[in-house]
C-alpha cells in the first residue's frame, strides 16, 4: 500500500507539472473552439444524442448522453449519467457525486479542459470527452420545445430521487443510484424519453433481483448503442429530421488518469464503437461482425453531415462536411449492407465489406464529400 501511495503521489505531481499541456486538465483548448461550435449550433438541432466510443478492448459499451437546445445561452445542455454516483465511499471521496444526472454545456462536455462541476469532475468523461475517445452525435431537428422541457424535467426528477435515496420508482427497481448494468446511462436517457416525453415504443431491460447473478445482469443491461437505435427509430416515426456529426478523438493526449489502475495515456487507449450485447462485445477494436453493430455504424455513417477533428499541429478544430442521405435511404442501405456483411463475416470469407463504419479510418468522410469550411 505504501508503494502504491507513493506511485499515486508521483503521478499527481507529474500531472501538476504538465497541467498547461494541450489536451490535459487545465491546459490549452482549440483556438477556434467557440467559432466552430457556434456555427454548428446555428444549424438549429433541437436534440443531439451523444454516443461516446468505448476505451477498452473487450466488454466496453461506451456512453450515451443527450444535448438539449434552449437551456443555455449559445450552447446546448448535455445531460449525462454520473458513473461515480453509485454511493461507493471511494467514489464519493475522489469524484463529483452531487447529482446522478449531470448538466454540462456541450462545448465543455466535448472540448473544454476545465469543468464547471468543480475539481472532482472526471476529465475525459464529464468534460473534454474527445481527448479520450470519439463521440458520434445524432442531431435531431423539429423536436418541439415542450418535448425538450419534459425530458429535462424528468432528469430533474431523477436527481431529486437520487438526493432522497428513493427506492422502487417509476423507472427503477431498488435504490436510485448509478449501476453499470442497471441504472446506467442508457436506462436514464431512455427513461426520460419514455416516461417524460411519452416515447411509448422505448423498451428497457431490468436487472435481476439477485445481485449475485452477474452474468444475467450483463445480458439484461441496457446499452448505449441499442438505446440510441431505439430513439432514432422513434425520431423518424415522429417525422423529425436527423443527421450525424462525428467528433473525432484527439489522437495525441498525454494525460494519464491518476485513478486508473493501469497508467495508460489517453492517446494509447482503444477508441471502440460501443457494442450491443452480442459476441462482438468481446471482440477487439473494429472487429465487429454482428448485424446490430454493423447496422448502427453504417446508419450513422450514411447520415453523416460533419466530421470535426482537432489538428495536432495547429491545435485547431477542422470540419469536413457533406450532404447526408435521407433517413429512409440511409436506413435501407445500412440494413442491406449489414445483412450482407454479417453473413460474409460468419462464413469467414475474404471479401470487401459493402458498408462504411462511422469512425473507421477509411470511413471518416461522409458518403458524398462536400465542402470543407
What average pLDDT does this structure show over 333-350? Answer: 84
Predicted pLDDT at 262: 87
Residue 4 inside a domain? The answer is no
Give the pLDDT confidence of 113-139 residue by residue, as tens digits: 999 999 999 999 999 999 999 999 999
Residue 333 lies in a domain: yes
Residue 158 in domain? yes
Distance (Å) of CA 97 to CA 62, 69, 186: 20, 25, 19
In a domain, 13, yes or no: no
- Report how far residue 278's alpha carbon sits from residue 290's, in angstroms, rounded to the nearest whole number: 7
Asked if residue 88 is part of any domain, the answer here is yes
Owner of C-alpha cell 477487439: 284
Q: Is the pLDDT of residue 299 over 80?
A: yes
pLDDT, tens digit, 9 for 90 and up, residues 60-112: 779 999 999 999 999 999 999 999 999 999 999 999 999 999 999 999 999 99
Domain containing residue 61: 20-363
Q: Is residue 220 part of a domain?
A: yes
Q: Is residue 370 part of a domain?
A: no
Structure confidence at residue 122 (pLDDT): 97
Domains in the chain: how many in total?
1
Q: For 18-71, write each residue's pLDDT tens digit.
A: 445 999 999 999 999 999 999 999 999 999 999 999 997 665 779 999 999 999
Q: Is residue 92 part of a domain?
A: yes
Which of the residue ranges 1-10, 93-102, 153-162, 316-325 would you say has the lowest mean pLDDT? Answer: 1-10
pLDDT exceeds cutoff 90 at 165: yes
Q: pLDDT digit string (tens) for 227-249? A: 999 999 999 999 999 999 999 99
What percentage of the chain has pLDDT greater than the value 90?
71
What mean pLDDT value characterizes the chain? 86
> For a pLDDT cut of 70, what percent of the chain falls above it?
81
Which of 275, 262, 260, 176 has its CA nearest to residue 221? 275
**In the predicted model, is pLDDT for residue 219 greater than 50?**
no
Phi and psi torsions of 171, nearest 5°: -110, -5
Amino acid at each position: 500500500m505504501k508503494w502504491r501511495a507513493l506511485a499515486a503521489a508521483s503521478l499527481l505531481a507529474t500531472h501538476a507539472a504538465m497541467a498547461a499541456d494541450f489536451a490535459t486538465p487545465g491546459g490549452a483548448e482549440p483556438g477556434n473552439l467557440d467559432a466552430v461550435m457556434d456555427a454548428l449550433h446555428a444549424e438549429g438541432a433541437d436534440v443531439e444524442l451523444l454516443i461516446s466510443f468505448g476505451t477498452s478492448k473487450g466488454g466496453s459499451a461506451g456512453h450515451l448522453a443527450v444535448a438539449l437546445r434552449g437551456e443555455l445561452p449559445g450552447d446546448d445542455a448535455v445531460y449525462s449519467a454520473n458513473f461515480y454516483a453509485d454511493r461507493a465511499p471511494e467514489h464519493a471521496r475522489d469524484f463529483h457525486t452531487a447529482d446522478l444526472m449531470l448538466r454540462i454545456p456541450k462545448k465543455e462536455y466535448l472540448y473544454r479542459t476545465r469543468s464547471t462541476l468543480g475539481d472532482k469532475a472526471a476529465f475525459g468523461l464529464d468534460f473534454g470527452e474527445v481527448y479520450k475517445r470519439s463521440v458520434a452525435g445524432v442531431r435531431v431537428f423539429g423536436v418541439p420545445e415542450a418535448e425538450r422541457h419534459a425530458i429535462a424535467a424528468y432528469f430533474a426528477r431523477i436527481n431529486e430521487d437520487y438526493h432522497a435515496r428513493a427506492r422502487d420508482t417509476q423507472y427503477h427497481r431498488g435504490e436510485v443510484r448509478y449501476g453499470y448494468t442497471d441504472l446506467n446511462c442508457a436506462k436514464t436517457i431512455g427513461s426520460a424519453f419514455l416516461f417524460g416525453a411519452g416515447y411509448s415504443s422505448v423498451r428497457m431491460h431490468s436487472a435481476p433481483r439477485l445481485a449475485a447473478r452477474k452474468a444475467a445482469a450483463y445480458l439484461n443491461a441496457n446499452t448505449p448503442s441499442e438505446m440510441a437505435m431505439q430513439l432514432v427509430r422513434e425520431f423518424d416515426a415522429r417525422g423529425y429530421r436527423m443527421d450525424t456529426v462525428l467528433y473525432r478523438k484527439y489522437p495525441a493526449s498525454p494525460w494519464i488518469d491518476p485513478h486508473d489502475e493501469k497508467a495508460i495515456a489517453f492517446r494509447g487507449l482503444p477508441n471502440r464503437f460501443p457494442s450491443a450485447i452480442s459476441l462482438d462485445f468481446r471482440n477487439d477494436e473494429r472487429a465487429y461482425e454482428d448485424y446490430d453493430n454493423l447496422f448502427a455504424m453504417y446508419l450513422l455513417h450514411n447520415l453523416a453531415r460533419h466530421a470535426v477533428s482537432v489538428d495536432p499541429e495547429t491545435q485547431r478544430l477542422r470540419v469536413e462536411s457533406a450532404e447526408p442521405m435521407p433517413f429512409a435511404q440511409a436506413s435501407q442501405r445500412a440494413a442491406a449492407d449489414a445483412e450482407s456483411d454479417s453473413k460474409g463475416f460468419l462464413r469467414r470469407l475474404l471479401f470487401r465489406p459493402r458498408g462504411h463504419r462511422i469512425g473507421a479510418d477509411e470511413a471518416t468522410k461522409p458518403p458524398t464529400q462536400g465542402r470543407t469550411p
